[in-house]
Chain A
Amino acid sequence: MHEGLERDLGLYSAVTISMGAMIGSGIFVLPALGFKKAGPAVIVAYLLAGVVVLPAALSKAEMATAMPESGGTYLYIDRAMGPLAGTVAGLGAWFSLVFKSAFALVGLGAYLLLFAPVPGSAVTAVALGLGTLIVVLNIVGTEQSGQMQAFIVTGVVVALAGYVLSGGATLDPGRFQPFATHESGGVVTAAAFVFVSYAGVTKIASVAEEVEDPGRNLPRAMLVSMGVMMALYTFVVAVVVGINDPDTLLHGGPDDGVSLTPMADGADALFGGFGVVFISVVAVLALTSMANAGVLASSRFPLAMSRDSLLPSWLMRIDPRFKTPRAAILLTGGVLLALIAFVPVVELAKLASAFQILVFSIENLALVAFRESDVEFYQPDFTAPGYPVVQLVGVVGGFALLTQMGTVPILGAVGITLAGLVWYLVYGRQRTDRAGALNVLVQRRRSPTGEADRVRIEADRE
């Protein structure tokens, strides 16, 4: 264990952190988008997406127990596959999370309008205002909000369960017919879109250094929260489909687009007539919490990459007054606000999913690299079960989803890979001599004696 770090998150806190990172736009905003792709079979898409995320969650849990330092995804991939892959993955994970936060803020704006007397065209302005507020809060610094987070998560889960019970009694079974409106390909496409709903499960790995007994609690927290959320999502989406007129879902949004507030749309009959207000308030709470957590977590990527010399060193500077990584937060917040202001975030929601799928696939490969190279510093407390089948399923499943997403997301994934490559070549390469575990593997293959050249691997920064 690192001298001088606190471990004060127990299993319950870890589960709520993980669930808190998952609950958000995935369930409050995306069901209608998924419905457009798959019809009522969007329900199956939520399950399928969960199944494809699971391998990456397990892989990440194992790597997190071997490297319980902040940096998460970026760090594991960098140490496994070298700084080039690290740069690509770091950029991809960072951008995906920023995108997801932007999407959450736009959805948040849409729900806010349901109970506040503001014209519909103000969604972007509201989202920008809230985004600015969150960025400022993060720069000034907030105290441990773990307990607050636990309250919100518990409240939201109870509200969602209430929604399922209340809506389950009134739904119209006829709405599930025909079930699959877009053939089986539609389900896969929808799964690719709602994939991001589970991305939060790996959030817990990024606070791994603060979890008590990580070998036991990290994987349990991930599996418990995944199981709960897969069940909850499936039921909630079934109710959304069952109580809403398909037309509302497909055209209830701004400018006749898909609804951004699918959970509130059919809720007027629920909770004794207060359904719309109730669900909207819950959605606003959950989405605010998600956007805030997104800014907090994503600004750690530039920070960690900067500490490894892959980004300029001013990004890791901690502000002496507020004690926060101000530059990393400002960069993240700036991109967040620019996305909301200038980019059609809703149409491009799939980009966030695409980057996430890419990163998760690389993450599975990273685990393979660690296991096969057997580098000395890699001593995980928790060993992911089902290796290597689970990881291969994760990689193949991930790429299969990626191919179903259409041209723009594929171009996006290729684009971020190229951007990472170029940045590494012009900036990172001359500043680092790190090599990943993969390199050890390759070296060993080359020299038949099995004696690999000494390759510098940073197991630990101290």
Chain B
Amino acid sequence: MNKIILQNKKENISLSGLYEKYSEDIFKYSFSILKDMEEAKDAVQEVFVRYAKSEDSFRNDCSYKSWLLIITRNYCFNRIKNKNYNSEDIDGDDFNESYSPDYDMQISLKEALMKLPEEYNELIYLKEYEGFSYKEIAEITKLSPENVKIKLFRARQELRKILKGDN
């Protein structure tokens, strides 16, 4: 598997520096999976604690961000698995309305995203927000690039159904 985003730039960043640089991305990625603001905030803290503890096993062939995203993914899916996380408990008031110039439209998109399975939501985030290629997403999610392509297509089909009220 080609390592495109996982190239290590040999940065020497302190933990505080990493937190400042990547905490927001970690939060949003966690949110795309956990679908809960407070859970995602907790995930950010937990991810950096886990990173600090596992720093010795940090892979030199990848970037800090990739490593953090992998830790985030493992944490979030374990969180869902261990606590039988129920996405129906999501409270819509957790969202800050300032993001939306078109409130109705964004709410419907939010609702659609909340109804998407975590693995689809995660792929949508990695593709649309992070702008990663299929190969880069494959390295983080441990899927094949072909599988990423198909799952992203299915995620869009599902999202479109929800948005159109076909679900």
Q: Do A and B bind each other?
A: no
Residues in B lying within 8 Å of A, measured CB to CB: none
